[in-house]
Amino acid sequence: MVSVQVRRSRRVAVTSAGLLVAVLSVFSPPASAAPADPMADAFAGSAATYEVPRDLLVALAYSETHLDGHGGAPSASGGYGVMHLVSNPTTHTLEQAAKLTSEPVETLKTDDAANIAGGAAVLRAHADALGLDATARKDPANWYTAVARYGNASSPEVARLYADTVYDLLANGVNTAAPSGTVTVRPQAVQPDRGDYAQ
């Protein structure tokens, strides 16, 4: 009689344990699920929305600010956020980004995700002005002139230096802990089409 009760108790315990595991598996995230990474998600989302190569967008932002938005404070040249959207007497990429994204200027200054979307939109506008179609936009090599224009350089020589820096970052990779998360670009060989900057 005792052994029958023991067997029943064991069955109940095993059944209860099985139900507990099933309930926990439904309501708990999988152990392998990666934690949310707002900065990485913002780059991926903006790259997809504006059809800009994601790694190129990260490299450009890293060359501008090392992915530090400085809490919305402007740089010496009037640049704001991770993408260094500029508002000064000669350059108005901040206002251009506001027009392209329909985001308020104040949001673009202080919100990393909005700022990254603004930078992607401005870079895409340069690509559109150069006539890059959907197929051409998929290859980071074709974005060199758009990247050179994004830097708002004072001369073609400085513009080329700026774009070369971005493409050097692509070649070497980026792995940085930004204030809003870790962003990684794996090293990749890209032979940029320098266009008019080749000379």
CATH at 171: 1.10.530.10
Q: Is residue 54 part of a domain?
A: yes
pLDDT digits (tens, 9 = 90+) for 81-104: 999 999 999 999 999 999 999 999
Tens digits of residue pLDDT in 51-80: 999 999 999 999 999 999 999 999 999 999
Domain that holds residue 119: 38-197
What is the structure's pLDDT at 199?
84
Q: Are 119 and 83 in contact (CB under 8 A)?
A: yes
Residue 24 has pLDDT above 90, yes or no: no
- 50 within a domain of the structure (yes/no): yes
Residue 73 within a domain: yes
Binning pLDDT at 50, 70 and 90, where does residue 36 land? low
In a domain, 71, yes or no: yes
In a domain, 47, yes or no: yes
Give the closest residue to 193 by CA, choosing from 125, 130, 121: 130
Residue 108 lies in a domain: yes
- 56 belongs to a structural domain: yes
Please indicate, yes or no, if residue 60 is contained in any of the structural domains. yes
CA dihedral 185, 186, 188, 190 (to 10 degrees): -10
Number of domains within the chain: 1
The continuous run of DSSP H or E covering 115 comes out as helix 112-129
* DSSP-assigned beta bridge partners for residue 184: 175
DSSP assignment letter at 185: E
Count of C-beta atoms within a 10 Å radius of residue 109 = 24
| pLDDT given for residue 5 in this prediction | 53
